[in-house]
Amino acid sequence: MARHDPNVQTGIDMRNARTKKTVNVEDLTIFLHHGHEEWNAKKKIIDILQREPLLDKSRREFMTRTERYEDGMNITNRIYELQQLHGWTENETKVALSSVDQPLPIHLHNIAFQPVFNLQAGPVLLKKYGPLITSRAMIGCYLQTELGHGTNVSRLETTATFLPDTQEFEVNSPTLTSSKWWIGALGKTATHGVVQAKLILDGGKDVGPHLFLVQLRSLEDHRVQPGIVIGDIGPKVMGGFPATDNGFARFSCVRIPKENMLSGFAQITENGQYVQPPHAKISYGGMLYIRSTMVTSAGWVIAKAATISIRYATVRRQGEIGKDGLEKQIITYPSVYYRLLPILARAYTFIQLGRSLTNAFSSMADRLMKGDTSLLAELHATTTGLKILVSTAGAQDIEVARRALGGHGFSAFSGLGNVYANYLPATTYEGDNFVLDQQVVRAALKTYRRLFSSGGQPSVDLFSPSSSFLRYMIDPALTPTHSVIHEAQWRDPETSILLLERRAAVMVHDHVQNLDSGEGAFTEDANANQRLSKAVTEAFVGVQVGNIIKTLGGTLQESDATMVRKILLLYLLTTVDAALIDLLSLSLLPPLSARSGLGAGMGIKNATPFNSGSKASRSRSTNLSSSGGDPVKSLRLTIDALCRELAPEAVGLTDAFGFTDWELDSALGVADGKVYEALWERAQKDPLNQKEVPDAYEKSIKPILQRGLRILQDKDKAKL
Amino acid sequence: MARHDPNVQTGIDMRNARTKKTVNVEDLTIFLHHGHEEWNAKKKIIDILQREPLLDKSRREFMTRTERYEDGMNITNRIYELQQLHGWTENETKVALSSVDQPLPIHLHNIAFQPVFNLQAGPVLLKKYGPLITSRAMIGCYLQTELGHGTNVSRLETTATFLPDTQEFEVNSPTLTSSKWWIGALGKTATHGVVQAKLILDGGKDVGPHLFLVQLRSLEDHRVQPGIVIGDIGPKVMGGFPATDNGFARFSCVRIPKENMLSGFAQITENGQYVQPPHAKISYGGMLYIRSTMVTSAGWVIAKAATISIRYATVRRQGEIGKDGLEKQIITYPSVYYRLLPILARAYTFIQLGRSLTNAFSSMADRLMKGDTSLLAELHATTTGLKILVSTAGAQDIEVARRALGGHGFSAFSGLGNVYANYLPATTYEGDNFVLDQQVVRAALKTYRRLFSSGGQPSVDLFSPSSSFLRYMIDPALTPTHSVIHEAQWRDPETSILLLERRAAVMVHDHVQNLDSGEGAFTEDANANQRLSKAVTEAFVGVQVGNIIKTLGGTLQESDATMVRKILLLYLLTTVDAALIDLLSLSLLPPLSARSGLGAGMGIKNATPFNSGSKASRSRSTNLSSSGGDPVKSLRLTIDALCRELAPEAVGLTDAFGFTDWELDSALGVADGKVYEALWERAQKDPLNQKEVPDAYEKSIKPILQRGLRILQDKDKAKL
């Protein structure tokens, strides 16, 4: 009989998945890339990059940390060569740099050093250094974080003391903990840096943190400048950011000319007078933009995890025998599709959400330039909340997807280990998510008080996008009409959005009540800020997703629009599912008629076999057609139904992200589905396999075996 | 004025924490190690190991994967040298091997190959190879998993065909996917292996998977035996298991003598007749034991995470200014202690739970040896549930603790990256947790049907430890007496245990109802098995923890016993907190009197400012003294109160684990608290810092800078 070959089957399963899918992959690809232009540009660049020998990723796993750094610099240099060779625009070069799928030191020059310098340097500095920075004739880094202090800039210890006699500043690190630390590209690469330091006026007055341009290394021979100690802070956990030289620096009384103070927002006169900056909020504009791009990038990272895990789950067969007489594809198991399809949904959601936010915030930036800062604090809080939401979800989704790969997911060749290690710091940098929660809460309370302080009804036009959920507290007409929620209601996005908004409104209100209750501390538990911050942000996102859903018809043909609507609905429903504790404990879900009025003991009584026919227990045991008005059950069954509708399209929906095998760099996510061949081939390249007998044999294995023999001989001797 | 030095402050803060604590660290250390003997033995061994130059861990981060393997073998060889030098027992040597804090290939010989061989080999094989294996004159591995199949042994493709003429077996890998894969120590180390292969009788009858001893490498020169292809499968994600040579093997018609079949449970006669094995369940005994040890080891891994993170949170000061005029220690922030103290609680709980289980299961093993298999299936399910519970919690706690370290937690010197990477596979090996859930559910349903099939009331003595929660379905007297739960009730462990047991009972009952409702599939959502498995296991653990709490008085002096009771109570309460969705959606919590009868819209109406004085909103805004009967609020406030009571003792409670700095290998977890000095010193050893100008300068940095200059010059030319 012909033997069944699981390896051959993988290719067949992947082909079948592509034949069965009904979505138009090309259309969705254009949709996800927001038009032909962006997509074609990316395709062109990827096509060039993946033919570069230097960009062969297979060697990376076997390099030392030092080699990874050198490899990263060689790649950087090559990419700027390619830029000239192919006449890439700055934007195309940015795409190229982000496509090599490892964080590079030059990234810090491009997104941190250059923007800060351009925004805050005065005309003199700009004229002198601007062109050098743009052309990278000098490479910069941004020195804020110190060994002893992170985001809390007001406590930074580094000082810059003004010396009127010489019209200089003296930059100094008075303590070990004032050493700049974690600064990307500082360790070995950067020649210059913008240093955050407390400005000390003549006479010792401390006027707080300001920015100063300091040369770190000679442009002649790259030697470190006198008075500065510079180095790499060492490797990162799980092999993350291996090519980036996060560095430290200590300054002992380093003199810099007065003009090196970034004087865009503050100045020192020649006689040492401090000139108050104008309203500096204008500088937020750029930050809002960077934060909003974090949503899009989270979407694309999650998209990688979704593509790899869904492809593997499609070709991996295990366990029960299906109709075709073969073991089932693991994506058909509820425990698998229930984990992977919500991840796919978050990828689609964040990519779309990010785009609409980027647009919103650039228009906001314009308003800022015109001096309109009315909504700034609130918008800043919103972007903060989004940063927390997407970075937490991103890190979790990558790891959940990796574990869904089962045993093989622990192989470095799965690709998701690197993706995780490099994405992970997003949860702690740009502000630790748990610290940032407090900012979101403070802003929400401020808005609440602004709106309701009068006691009267604030007019609706006072509600900004990020506070609109609070309108539920003034308009009774907005309370829900239906008293039970069946699948039909869950299928309507408005149901989820309404619940998310009302949850946020109640929680903000309760929080204010607690703070005002005058009963002192501990009226809120330790996790209250986290829950409230999440509720506020999820209400905002819910509304945005609702708006995106409304626009789909215009951009996609109906069949595809329907599918994307289902994906976005799945995002909303899984968000509500994760919010059930709030919704249930705040009585925001319609009560289960069959269960209402039950006492504590009742639930269990109804559950005893002796009256198992009771309404309550039946209500929990019936299916979609009649979930007995139990909103939790109907929610979960609707999520399950949605997943089963999306599963057959999953490969098509992930193909639509347009990743090449080179981009994914995953043996388990190969486009042709031949995962076992890919694992086998990658293993053969392992340096350990280049010698039949490892060097360790003579040195340690042989001694172990021989010791064993001696032990036996001694035992035998003993017997005699 | 004398400048405040945060670095000096770290040492002061750590000393103060040790002065303020009231627990007796030494007593708790003995308690956690279950007596002086175990603790003294460990201390003696650690003391020797940390003076070994070869065991200096600081070089590891900078080695290649191949170097890590060689390093691991050298360490292994050295430890067996030390065993002879110091006359260590096998058990002491085991402690030493597990203390080097990296998984070594020899581990697979000791815990997989040797036990399987000893348990299943027949007398002939045992006599011939037993001594060689015990003395490690041969090094073995256990070959089960294949490229195409994991835990599902019934589908393994490797074959062993009996050849009557030569009285041999022919071991063969018919397909690529039949290649053995992931086998620890197979790649480069093992000389022999026990191979899982389908036994094919003369005539082609397949009688399923059996075990065969196969020599893999020559004992003369370590060359691979003819007909076998062997290699390392490559690196693991996040740098996990770097010193272990997980390997692959393909067999092309490899002949082995008939005697090499492990015939403990099945035999082939000379004329090829298959002799049915006796009841093979007896072999479960060992597995039960291994599973139960996973609980203890999870406890100790979590203990490391708790020690490092709590020490750092004690000396790290950031943000708000406290009474002492300094920034607050971050452990005083709710968002920090709320994350760390439950981790400390799980460490204490799992260490104690593991010990009591190990005892329980060894007595069970005795019963098995006597042929009593009555409770076997259920006990197997219990250990499975525990494996899922502790490995999932372990991986999560390590990462939550790492993120609580903030930015510095992303440095490899934090130590928790390695701990995480090496613990991670516990969630997918020994069975993927999500696959195992089904086993737990099946067993629970089986027990339920066995107990209630009659319809009559099963007698209480039918309930085993793992099914006792089902008694709530026959004894109405067991339903709770109090109709509200205030802090006083939450302080009583029985409240949590009762809720966890009743939750499991209701969910098992409802699940059976759904399956029996005859409404076909999809009456349960995709995540039902996960929830049910968790509920069943947490009910079992809850009862065990209750028993441990009762015994504390005998083993500890009262003040310490009180503290440990609080720790175990915190474990119970956080378990209930995480179970709130179930408890609320199943109406298992007393209804909030003030809120009972509220309709869906009401919650929000009560939340509007215009009747903010309403009972409902006040009930949510009052503090412990009167949480208005809201059980969710009183639960959370009790958790918060417990955390604040434990926080001042946290350093003492983690000191009690007895880890040395060498064991923790963490710059952020150093015993003296001087974390900044430790980070600084470790960074100086970074190879990248041994050269002021990196090799990358000439090759790639200089070209980038020079290209920049040329670009500027060309622009200037263009201007002329």
Average pLDDT over residues A289-314: 93
CB nearest A412 (choices: B234, B245, B637): B234
Interchain contact, A70 vs B621, CB within 8 Å: no
User: In A, which residues are within 8 Å of B590 by CB distance?
Assistant: 599-600
B residues 406-445 lying closer than 8 A (beta carbon) to A: 406-407, 409-414, 416-418, 420-421, 424-425, 427-429, 432-435, 437-438
Whether the complex's predicted ipTM surpasses the cut of 0.90:
yes
Interchain contact, A680 vs B179, CB within 8 Å: yes
Work out the percent of chain B whose per-residue pLDDT is above 90: 69
B residues 511-570 lying closer than 8 A (beta carbon) to A: 513-514, 517, 519-520, 522-523, 525-527, 529-530
Q: Is the pLDDT of residue B209 over 80?
A: yes
Are the C-beta atoms of A6 and A317 separated by less than 8 Å? yes
Find the range with the poorest average confidence among B111-125, B139-153, B196-210, B451-465. Answer: B451-465
Tokens encoding A516: 């005002």
Question: For B287-323, what is each residue's pLDDT tens digit?
Answer: 666 777 899 999 999 999 999 999 999 999 998 899 9
Query: What are the phi and psi torsion angles at B152 (to 5°)?
Result: -80, 75
Question: For B227-284, what is each residue's pLDDT tens digit?
Answer: 999 999 999 999 999 999 999 999 999 999 999 999 877 888 888 888 876 555 545 5
What is the value of pTM for the model shown? 0.93
Tokens encoding A40: 């074609």
Q: Closest Cα of chain A to B41: distance in Å?
A: 24
Question: For A646-684, what is each residue's pLDDT tens digit?
Answer: 999 999 999 999 999 999 999 999 999 999 999 999 999
Any idea what the Cα angle at residue A294 is, between residues A292 and A297, rounded to 5°?
125
pLDDT of residue B455: 63
Q: Closest Cα of chain A to B206: distance in Å?
A: 14
Mutate which: A133, A200, A330, A410, vs B, most B CBs within 10 A: A410
Nearest-by-CA chain B residue for A483? B600
Distance CA A471, CA A451 (A): 10
Interchain contact, B581 vs A584, CB within 8 Å: yes
Interchain contact, A62 vs B61, CB within 8 Å: no
CATH code for the part of the protein at A140-276: 2.40.110.10
Question: For B542-592, what is each residue's pLDDT tens digit?
Answer: 999 999 999 998 889 999 999 999 999 999 999 999 999 999 999 888 765
What are the residue numbers of the active site of A? 430
| Chain A touched by B174 (CB under 8 Å) | yes
Q: Which one is predicted more confidently, B378 or A184?
A: A184
What's the pLDDT band for B154 if we cut at 50, 70, 90? Answer: confident
Q: How far is CA A554 from CA A546, A551, A562, in A?
A: 15, 6, 12
Average pLDDT over residues B603-628: 35
Q: How far apart are the first and last CA of chain A?
A: 59
Nearest-by-CA chain A residue for B520? A623
E strands within B174-316? 180-183, 192-200, 206-215, 228-232, 247-251, 254-257, 267-268, 274-275
Tokens encoding B635: 């639960």
Interchain contact, B413 vs A234, CB within 8 Å: yes
Query: What are the phi and psi torsion angles at B49 (to 5°)?
Result: -60, -45
Are the C-beta atoms of B568 and B345 separated by less than 8 Å? yes
Q: How many CB pairs (< 8 A) connect A and B?
A: 581
Question: For A358-397, what is each residue's pLDDT tens digit?
Answer: 877 777 777 777 777 776 777 788 888 999 999 999 999 9
A residues 330-369 lying closer than 8 A (beta carbon) to B: 334-339
User: In A, which residues are within 8 Å of B696 by CB distance?
Assistant: 69-70, 73-74, 188-189
Q: Which one is predicted more confidently, A513 or A225?
A: A225
Question: For A597-636, what is each residue's pLDDT tens digit?
Answer: 223 332 333 333 333 333 333 333 333 344 567 899 999 9
User: In A, which residues are within 8 Å of B77 by CB distance?
Assistant: 699-701, 703-704
Nearest-by-CA chain B residue for A515? B621
User: In A, which residues are within 8 Å of B175 by CB distance?
Assistant: 3, 5-7
What's the pLDDT band for A171 if we cut at 50, 70, 90? Answer: very high
* Unique residue bearing structure tokens 């002939």: B124
Interchain contact, B707 vs A136, CB within 8 Å: yes
* Unique residue bearing structure tokens 């449970």: B265
Interchain contact, B240 vs A680, CB within 8 Å: no
Nearest-by-CA chain B residue for A692? B223
Q: Closest Cα of chain A to B396: distance in Å?
A: 11
With b for 16 or more beta-carbon neighbours within 10 A and e for fewer, the B31-70 pattern comes to: bbbeeeeebebbeebbebbeeeeebeeeebbbbbbbbbbb
- Burial level of B279, CB count in 10 A (0-12/13-18/19+)? exposed
pLDDT of residue B615: 33
B residues 240-259 lying closer than 8 A (beta carbon) to A: 240, 245, 248
Average pLDDT over residues A115-137: 93
- What are the domain boundaries of chain B? 140-276, 448-652
| Chain B touched by A139 (CB under 8 Å) | yes
Q: Which one is predicted more confidently, A522 or A157?
A: A157
| Chain A touched by B458 (CB under 8 Å) | no
Average pLDDT over residues A123-128: 94
Average pLDDT over residues A282-310: 83
- Burial level of B313, CB count in 10 A (0-12/13-18/19+)? buried
Contacts (Cβ under 8 Å, ≥6 apart) of B130: B117, B118, B121
Average pLDDT over residues B383-405: 95
Binding-site residue positions of B for FAD: 145, 184
CB nearest A506 (choices: B74, B603, B715): B603
Catalytic residue among B157, B168, B399, B430: B430
Interchain contact, A529 vs B434, CB within 8 Å: no
Question: For A434-484, what is each residue's pLDDT tens digit?
Answer: 788 888 888 888 888 888 876 666 766 666 777 788 877 766 555 555 567
Nearest-by-CA chain B residue for A695? B70
Q: Is the pLDDT of residue A512 over 70?
A: yes
State whether residue A374 is helix, strand or coil: coil
With b for 16 or more beta-carbon neighbours within 10 A and e for fewer, the A498-529 pattern comes to: bbbbbbbbbbbbbbbbbeeeeeeebbbbbbbb
Q: Is the pLDDT of residue B361 over 50?
A: yes
Question: For B674-699, what is each residue's pLDDT tens digit?
Answer: 999 999 999 999 999 999 999 999 99
Average pLDDT over residues A64-85: 97
**Using CA of residue B2, residue B4, residue B10, residue B15, what is the dihedral sign?**
positive
